[in-house]
Structure 1
Amino acid sequence: MDLMFTLYPYAKALHIMAVLSWMAGLFYLPRLYVYHVEQAEKVREIIPIFLTMEDKLLRLIMRPAMIVTWVAGLFMVLTPGIVDWSYVWPWTKGASVIAMTVFHHWLLIRHKAFSRDQNTLSGRQYRLMNEVPTLLMVVIIVSVVFKF
């Protein structure tokens, strides 16, 4: 138990860094999809460039950041005395993080559709989906800061 308290600030710092990296990818990837859809209609030769960019963002930045976010977050949650489960905020934050993870996997599914040349969504639809991580981020931050 003392070890968890000792490691808690390190886990928190790691968690914040991982969340920032993950969120950057969650904000950027739908925007890449917008450009992918709109530019592929004009220049077919650009498609492999978009696929490479999207794949590297997903595999090299977003996936590791998501995993570290989850591991460090769970470590903090499991540290005794840190979370009072009688409040609403840990539940709203947890539900929002799960929704963020589902969104991440939806982006992965969309990338696979692009890879198979089976994308069915428009640039406008990806622009709308680009707002999902922002809304979830607002819920998470308000939940953690105000601890309602």
Structure 2
Amino acid sequence: MEHLIGYDLARGLHIIAVIAWIAGLLMLPRFYAYITASQPGGEMEAAMLKAARSLRSIILIPSFILAWAFGIFLFATYLTGDWTGPIPEVLSHVPHWFWAKFILVLGLSGYQGFLSAQGRKLAQGQRPHSEKFWRLMSEIPFLVAIAAVLLATLEP
């Protein structure tokens, strides 16, 4: 059976989607820091709220969906052989490093959900976290991305 998309193309598109996703996750907390530091109801707050909303809808959501879709496709390439066997046997072809990367990706997905919920709070005028908090939070995706990329490239 011939595939519509090959492994190398899927891997390249996955990487591109992940780059966009991580970029959005790095930027969004900075926008939240600017919102938190701005005058409530002011022009800066309105501009940053709009920018954050656009970032979520134009970059984060599509890149998140594409990163997961291509990631699932790539994961499926490990699942070879007889699918009628026990699940542990079917999953035995998946390398151990993949599960650590998968946990990191689940964490980033949850982090994006947290950011979305916080964005709704900020849009309602609530400011539950400080500017410093948001500046620190903007570093998390980069640290997680380092670990995930090293797991995927070094395959320890």
TM-score, normalised to structure 1's length?
0.89
**SS state of the match for residue 125, structure 2?**
coil
1:15-59: CA deviations, max 9, x gaps?
Answer: 111111111101111111111111236x72322111110000001
Q: Is the 8 A contact 1:51 1:115 kept in 2?
A: yes
Q: Is the 8 A contact 1:15 1:72 kept in 2?
A: yes
In structure 1, the residue matched to 2:75 is 77
In structure 2, the residue matched to 1:105 is 113
TM-score, normalised to structure 2's length?
0.85
In structure 2, the residue matched to 1:38 is 37
Q: Supply the AA of the counterpart residue of 2:16.
A: M
Identify the match of residue 125 of structure 2 among 117, 133, 140. Answer: 117
Structure 1 residue 2: deviation in Å? 4.6
Cα separation, partners in 2 of 1:75 and 1:15, compared to 1, 3 Å: same
In structure 2, the residue matched to 1:18 is 17
Structure (1/2) with the larger helix percentage:
1
Structure 1 residue 133: deviation in Å? 0.4
Deviates more, 1:130-139 or 1:107-116: 130-139
1:52-95: CA deviations, max 9, x gaps?
Answer: 1000000111100000000001001102469942x431011100
Q: How far apart, in 1, do the equivalents of 2:100 and 2:2 lie?
A: 28
1:36-75 counterparts in 2 under 5 A?
Answer: 36-40=35-39, 44-75=42-73
**SS state of the match for residue 71, structure 1?**
helix
Unaligned runs of 5+ in 1: none
**SS state of the match for residue 117, structure 1?**
coil
In structure 2, the residue matched to 1:3 is 3
Q: Is the 8 A contact 1:92 1:139 kept in 2?
A: no
> Percent same amino acid at aligned positions?
28
**SS state of the match for residue 20, structure 1?**
helix
Q: Indicate the RMSD between aligned Cα atoms, in angstroms.
A: 2.0
Give the number of equivalent residue pairs: 145
Q: Supply the AA of the counterpart residue of 1:105.
A: G
Deviates more, 1:97-106 or 1:126-135: 126-135
